[in-house]
Amino acid sequence: MVELTLLVVAELGFVEGVVYEVIAVSFSSKPHPAPIGVRFKDGLFEATIYHDTATYANLKVHPMCTLNVVRSGLLFYDAVYMKHKLRVMREGDYWFLADADAWLGVTVVEESPDRGRSVFKFKPSMLHLSQVKPKPYTRADGALVEMLVHESRIKPYIDSGLLVEAKRLYDLIVHYNELMARIAQNTEYQAYAKAIYESATRRMGELKGG
Ligand SMILES: Cc1cc2nc3c(=O)[nH]c(=O)nc-3n(C[C@H](O)[C@H](O)[C@H](O)COP(=O)(O)O)c2cc1C
């Protein structure tokens, strides 16, 4: 298990504390793909799953699933709205996405229910890599770049007197900074987001002062 944990970090590049979006394939009568966010911590994966989802119902019947690493937002769309488009295959007890860059077979080791949802802890028991080097998808990357883009326009807007526009961008930066605190707590992503947020706050503060 230690070896598999090391492999997960080395081959998949999961950084502790960061939430990665994967497509879970659970099953009951048939395999069922759905996007979920997972966090890797102390050799286990944690996911919060709502009780009103088919994924939750399936895990109660079969406490195992695969976590499929994909890099395209289009596949997440398909996993929500066009499930039939995804090619699903089977290996032993696990169903997985044929087009995943990598997938992990996991089993439930703990469930903590809390107001309509449960935090599950999953133990990895099988890692499958494809030809493509996997890069797990995190919203933190997109959020950080959005913050950078927005921050770069605040000063030009202020200098041009477009104060409503500047405030709109500042509000977006506040939003992404809050998101980062949820999906990448105590990580480099959060430290960078905080630096951008503070820079933007200073610029808006100078505006008030002047
Ligand atoms: C990127 C992404 C991440 C998601 N993460 C979660 C999650 O962590 N937990 C959850 O219960 N639902 C999550 N969802 C919502 C479910 O995937 C969505 O409700 C799903 O279509 C319904 O699940 P079901 O098909 O299992 O009923 C996420 C959706 C997206 C697009």
Q: What is the CATH number of the domain that holds 75?
A: 2.30.110.10
Atom of ligand 1 nearest to the CA of 36: 5
- DSSP structure string for the chain: -HHHHHHIIIII-PPTT-EEEEEEEEESSSEEEEEEEEEEETTEEEEEEETTSHHHHHHHHS-EEEEEE---HHHHHHHHH-GGGS-EEEETTEEEETT-SEEEEEEEEEEEEETTEEEEEEEEEEEEE-SSPP--B-HHHHHHHHHHHHHHHHHHHHHTT-HHHHHHHHHHHHHHHHHHHHHSTTSHHHHHHHHHHHHHHHHHHHHHH-
Q: Are residues 180 and 204 in the same domain?
A: yes
Closest Cα to atom 29 of ligand 1: 35
Atom of ligand 1 nearest to the CA of 58: 26
Domain membership flag for residue 66: yes
Given a cut of 70, the residues of the chain with pLDDT beneath it are 1-3, 208-210
Reported pTM:
0.93
Q: Are residues 77 and 160 in the same domain?
A: no
Count of the separate structural domains present in the chain: 2
Q: Are residues 89 and 143 in the same domain?
A: no
Span 103-142, pLDDT tens digits? 999 999 999 999 999 999 999 989 999 888 999 999 999 9
Q: Are residues 18 and 54 in the same domain?
A: yes
Domain membership flag for residue 134: no
Q: Are residues 119 and 18 in the same domain?
A: yes
What pLDDT is attached to residue 43?
A: 87
